[in-house]
Every structure is written in structure tokens, then in C-alpha cells.
Chains A and B, each alone.
Chain A
Amino acid sequence: MIRLTRDAIDYTALTEQVRKGDCGAVVVFLGTVRDLTGDCVTVALDYEAYPGMAEKKMAEIEADARDRWPVGEIVLEHRLGRLEVGEVSVAVAVSCPHRADAFEACRFAIDRLKELVPIWKKENWADGTTEWVHPEKSNHG
């Protein structure tokens, strides 16, 4: 399942959600707000999405992962709004019968999410300035 939320991501509950009797491996990836980018100090990040399309692309990533690996359960969740340093912005939890598949499926899902899902972050720097993050390399594909 996929979810956009403005609340704190409950990664314990999300991990429990993917655990299954026929899956011997659970991999969880958490993306968290980092305090430094180069020499610049981050106070907070603001995340926004193009909601209908973001959810659609996340659902496609879930379907692709299920096609490619023997996924028992998978959850992709992304938080929107203001996040302070250390908070969880994104979580991907995957269960599979064996660990190699679970690692690969989780890596695939977070990589595709970062490439394809229309979500943007704005840096709130310690000096009071702000800056939308739009990477130079074109991300769509």
C-alpha cells in the first residue's frame, strides 16, 4: 500500500504491517532529515506533492516491485509539510520469503520514488533563507 501523510510516520507500525508468516525477511528504509548539506546547515525541510499524481506513481512503483520480486507485503509512505532535523520523511517496508529479494525490492522502491514521484523539498537554512531543491540532472524518465 502507499500513503501520503502530514503526520509523523509510525515506522514501527509500518514494519509490523508488512510482517507475514511466509516471509522470512523484512527490510525497512527510512529517509530522515539531515542537518548538513555541504557546509549549509538545515533547520527544517518543507515537503509538497502534486497529490493525485504522486499517489498514482507510488502505486505504480508498488505494482512494479510486486511484479519483479516475490513481495509478501510492501508499504511506501511519504510525509508532507514541515519536518525538523532527524524526522522521518519517507519510509519503505518490504517483506519477502528471503532477504536478497527484500533488499532488492526495497532499494528499487526508494530509488524509483526519488526519481519519479512528484514531491519536492524546500530547504530552510540556518541563516533564514529558503531554497527549493531541484536537482540539475533531469529526474523524470
Chain B
Amino acid sequence: MSSSATLTSQAYIQHHLTNLTFGYLPGHGWGFAHDAEQAAQMGLWAINVDTMAVALILGGLFAWFFKRVADRVSAGVPGGAQNFVEWVVEFVDENVRGSFSGKNPLVAPLALTIFCWVLLMNLMDLLPVDLLPWLAGMVGVSHLKAVPTTDPNATFGMALVVFGLVLYYSFKIKGVGGFLGELTLQPFGKWGMPANLVLEGISLISKPVSLALRLFGNMYAGEMIFILIAIMYGGGIILGATAGVLQFVWAVFHILIITLQAFIFMVLTIVYLDMAHQEHH
């Protein structure tokens, strides 16, 4: 939170929805943006440092934890950590076996990474909205958006990677001719080629867009409601107590949404890759 005495609820919300952006500002040189307007002026080549940092830390945490458990794996009675990791791996493996029909050693590890990473990033939503920005404010960081998945850059980044894989495997498995044929020869036959291309093109493009926007929208809505509840804390004892109850209820409900969205992101990734592997004749 900023230290100004007159803090309106609008400014509070805006502040919480602004990323810490590093980039080149015309006339000022390289540096951090002080508000959303400056961040917008930085254009394409600006980095949301908070999103990157939190996402990389969480990704590293996931990789480190799973690697550590895998290194110390024992055939005897497993400990708690090994049990947990085996359970997660089996859960993902079961889903991949259920919905992926082709043969590809990349898909299951990809699904596991996506599920755990998205879940961890979503879990940041359950921390009190002011905790991380407040801690960052102590060391002089002006803005911090703690949940990477409330930044469309992060979700679109992941969705575009999945989309790239879909395109790659479509070309690899079906061949250039097969994939182009799938895009242009369904559903109306070869004389309806332009209509086919439009229809199939839309359904192809809508995959990454809906994948990214679904995760972003759900997390953004959750964060928004947490922020609105946090504003109520400033309204006296009664409102504050109500806000405490509300925050607890919403957090419990949000646990469902968090896991569900991570799970859906994983399942859809598997399904899209499965569609890329299916050959039509």
C-alpha cells in the first residue's frame, strides 16, 4: 500500500491491480514504471517483474521438491513427501492415460508441470491480498501483484506454448498436407474450402485464447473479490468482522476454483494435444 494519507478505495484497487513493470520509458530511460499509465507507454518490450519473479520462484520450488523426492525415493515404506508426490504423479498419469490416445513421452510430464505450476501460482491467491505487497513495500518496491495468473501475460504465455506444441505435433504427425487438409477439407468437402478454412481457423485460434482467458478471468475475479473484501476492513468494527467472515468463506470456496482451473488447464492441454495426434483418413 502507498503511504499517502487520503487513500480512496479506487486508488487502492488500482494499486493492487498494477504490476511492477520494468522497461524503457521514452524520455526517462530504463526503469520501473511508477503507475499504470507509464507501464502502458513502455509498450511491448516491458517486463512485469513481479509476475516473472513469483512464477519462476514457484516453478523452481515445484521442480526442486519433486527432484528431491525422486532422488531419495525408496522401495520400502514411503515417507509423507514420497506418498504425496506419488499420489500427484499417479493422478496426472491416470488423466493422461484416460484422455490421450497417442504415444508421446512428452505429454505426461508436460501435464504434471502445468498442473502443479498453475496450482502453485493460483495458491498465491489465498495469501492475504496486502501481505506480499506490504512486505515488498518494506524493501522499497512500489507495486506488487502477487498472483502471476491474474496477469494475462503469464496465462497467454503458457497457452501460446501449448498452442505451439499443438501446431508442432499437428505438422509432425499428420504431415503438412494432412494438417492443411484437415483445416480446409472439413466439414463441407473440397468445394466449400473458404468456409471450411474460416470455421476450422476460428476453432484453432480459439483454443489458446479461451485457454488463457479462462484461467486469467477466474483468477482475476477471485483476486478482485478478495480486494473488495479487504476494503471493507477499513469500515469500522462491524464491517471489519463481516469482512473477516466473508474472506474466510470466499477463501474456502476459492480453493475449489483454484484446483479446478489448474485441473482444467491440464485436461484441455492433454485434449488439444490428443486432437493434434489423431489422424483422419
Task: Please determine whether chains A and B interact with each other in the same assembly.
Answer: no
Binding site for B on A (CB under 8 A): none
